[in-house]
A and B are shown apart, each in its own frame.
Chain A
């Protein structure tokens, strides 16, 4: 299965600033996704990162707040914009091949907004 490198692993940011998280996959994958995990909660899907086109966002998430890029089949970024303390979470990227393949996850980015 694919191996995902995600960085940074953690960051402490000032409110009102933005942070960009990067994910690099060691092989070409069909689908890439971004998740958020708030403290003590399970994973919530933010969006599907589409190669060469705009990401598909889930209900409650908007492009202005969470812009996503996916310039090729192995790389994606998620930006958390104009951060507030409520954005403090673990952000995870994930990748999958065809539908009968499993998902692989990055090691996560632990974000604290102060």
Chain B
């Protein structure tokens, strides 16, 4: 059964800092990995989707990498801003059976201090 881990659960940084959010997964047989952002009490906003054949994806100040063989992904946020404060969720889509559904980590709650 696929397990997705995100550590730490919470992170507080000063504005302007570059930061890295980590995600690890136990089963490397995945179709893709997706990073989401969730504001309190709201739905999920997709940030980046990385296919299993890709190594990274970039969107603005965000860059996500994928190392499928080692079961790791990182989300890099450049020049963080208070508006980046939210919970960031990593999710993987497996290839077969029960793992073919989306499996989520518990998320990292980021607070960017002005």
Contact = CB atoms under 8 A, between A and B. Distances in A.
Query: Per DSSP, are chain B's interface residues mostly helix, strand or loop, or mixed?
Result: strand
A108 B102 CA distance: 17
Contacts of B31: 99-100
Given A1-B46, A42-B104, A45-B102, A102 B32 contact: yes
B43 A108 contact: yes
Interface string A7-51: 000000000000000000000000001000000011101001000
Interface string B21-58: 00000000001101010000111111001010000000
Contact of B105 (A42, A92, A100, A103): A42
Contacts of A43: 44, 89, 104
Interface residues of B, number: 22
Contact of A105 (B32, B41, B44): B44
Contacts of B91: 103
A103 B90 CA distance: 12
B100 A108 contact: no
Contacts of A48: 101
Interface of B: 31-32, 34, 36, 41-46, 49, 51, 89, 91, 93, 100-102, 104-107
